[in-house]
Amino acid sequence: MKKDILVGIIMDSDSDLPVFTEAAQILEEFEASYDITVGSAHRAPERVQKYSSGAIERGIKVLIAGAGGAAHLAGVIAAHTTLPVIGLPVKAKSLDGLDSLLSTVNMPPGIPVATVGINAGKNAGLLAVQILALGDKTLEDKLSAYKKKMSDDVEAKGEKLSEIGYKKYLEK
């Protein structure tokens, strides 16, 4: 496996890749190095244990992990490392992902998993960047610029809506 990767992304199934791609895209936007792989808490527990317990040695600082359904992956990862783990619950075929969310957020005492919303890959990536920015002024500055741009975009949209009205705004 690669060395000096800042963020490790691991998903339960390659069918979850569209959700985790959003996290990867954010990390790319902020130029934060990452790796991305598949490892199932139930179908490949040895792979998951090896990946998570060796993360620190590979230079990883934050892990993003998630799954649908019972969503045990993030908790299993957190059990094998002292790194911060961001749980990304994936919307599965039943319960609109609520089962995944509740499974991810309800870790036992001593095994914390910071959890973002269902299918919220973008927020998982941003939270990883925020954690990394605690020790990286360049990332901190990029985050400030990112948030400023979001604010400016909302301001411009608000002004345009007020100026032309909702009917014309919706036509565009």
Per-residue pLDDT, 3: 58
Residue entry with tokens 């934050």: 62
Whole-model pTM: value is 0.93
Model confidence band, residue 4 (pLDDT cutoffs 50, 70, 90): confident
Note every long-range contact of 39-42, with CB atoms under 8 Å and residues 24 or more positions apart, other chains counting: 39/10, 39/11, 39/12, 39/73, 40/12, 40/13, 40/67, 40/73, 41/12, 41/67, 41/72, 41/73, 41/75, 41/76, 42/70, 42/72
Q: Is the pLDDT of residue 73 over 70?
A: yes
Per-residue pLDDT, 172: 83
Q: Is the pLDDT of residue 12 over 90?
A: yes
CB 131 within 8 A of CB 102: no
Cα–Cα distance measured from residue 116 to residue 26, given in angstroms and rounded to the nearest whole number:
15
Q: What percent of the chain has pLDDT over 90?
A: 93
Q: What is the mean pLDDT of residues 59-78?
A: 95
Q: Is the pLDDT of residue 151 over 60?
A: yes
User: Which is higher by pLDDT, 103 or 94?
Assistant: 103
Instruction: Look over the chain and give the mean of its residue pLDDT values, rounded to a whole number.
Output: 95
Residue entry with tokens 């749980």: 87
Per-residue pLDDT, 93: 84
CB 88 within 8 A of CB 20: yes
Cα–Cα distance measured from residue 67 to residue 14, given in angstroms and rounded to the nearest whole number:
10
Per-residue pLDDT, 2: 54
Cα–Cα distance measured from residue 29 to residue 77, given in angstroms and rounded to the nearest whole number:
26
Per-residue pLDDT, 94: 83
